Amino acid sequence: MEPLLDALRLSLLVSLCATGLMCVVGLALAWVLAMRQFPGKALLDALISIPLVLPPTVVGYYLVLLLGRNGWIGAPLYRWTGWSVVFTWQGAVVAAFVVALPLMVRVSRAAIEAVDQDLVQISATLGKSEWQTTWQVTLPLARRGILAAILLSFARALGEFGATLMLAGNIPGQTSTLPLSIYSAFQSGNDDLAQQMALLLTLVSVVVMLLSNRWTGQRWKPF
């Protein structure tokens, strides 16, 4: 049970951190894409969405180019701090974040766009700033869709494999998340462990899908 619990603990840590990041960055991006018109909007939308269609290993490859010790961001970071994100659990967080971000942005953007614009406009005529309207009208009314987005992207982060392997590697106890541990166990002939982990991930995915379908399928109700 020890390897399974280790992998589960690490997977939860990585996925929760990535989801936390997505709640801030992803929601902000979703709001900007839903509510604002600006030059380059289509390009930004496309850039965020690319991990949806690109193989995760390719995403991981680009992340290494960007964040590796010789990367565009990684090199100056290493010079200043002596630390690199490659082969660390934080690297796994970055990989999970980038791969799951498009789900977070797309689903929560759709939820924000579905809020009746009359309500946003009447709020302006009632003297409320855009910030007040966002917090008191838009987000509360879009909350079911946003919750579904958080759940879906959490599940995606939990299942991340390719980009994580490229950027964080597969170090037992340090970067071996559940999907990576399943691969290792299967490769080394430990079928029982692989099966237990696979069942655990399947169970989590089913629960997440049921919850997110339930939340996206219903209109807002007071209770």
Partner 1 sequence: MEDHPLLSVSLHKVLPGGFVLDLSWQCHSEIVVLFGPSGAGKSMTFRLLSGLVTPDSGEILLGGKTLYSHARRINLTPQQRQVGYLFQHYALFPHMTAAQNILYAHPTPRTAAAQAQLQVLLGQFQLESVAWAYPGALSGGQRQRVALARALMRKPAWLLLDEPLSAVDLTVRRSIRTELKQLQRRLSIPMILITHDLGEAFSMADRLIIYDQGRVVQCGLPEEILANPASPIISEWAGHALPTHQPVFSF
127 binds partner 1 (CB under 8 A): yes
- Residue (32 or 137) nearer to partner 1, CB: 137
Among 25, 69, 128, 196, binds partner 1 (CB under 8 A): 128
Distance in angstroms (rounded) separating the CA atoms of residues 77 and 65: 13
Rounded to a whole number of angstroms, the minimum distance from the CB of residue 127 to partner 1 is 5
CA angle 219, 222, 223 (to 5 degrees): 100
220 binds partner 1 (CB under 8 A): yes
Of residues 194, 181, 143, 184, the one with CA closest to residue 7: 181
**Residue 83-122 contact track with partner 1, rule CB under 8 A, x = bound:** ---------------------------------x-xx-xx
126 binds partner 1 (CB under 8 A): yes
- Residue (69 or 128) nearer to partner 1, CB: 128
125 binds partner 1 (CB under 8 A): yes
Residue type, 82: G
- Crossing angle, helix 56-67 and helix 41-53, to 10 degrees? 120
- Residue (141 or 180) nearer to partner 1, CB: 141
50 binds partner 1 (CB under 8 A): no
Rounded to a whole number of angstroms, the minimum distance from the CB of residue 142 to partner 1 is 10
- Residue (140 or 172) nearer to partner 1, CB: 140
| Residue 44 · residue 215 · CB < 8 Å | no
Distance in angstroms (rounded) separating the CA atoms of residues 49 and 181: 28
- Residue (130 or 191) nearer to partner 1, CB: 130
- Residue (1 or 126) nearer to partner 1, CB: 126
222 binds partner 1 (CB under 8 A): yes
Binding site for partner 1 (CB under 8 A): 116, 118-119, 121-129, 136-137, 140-141, 220, 222
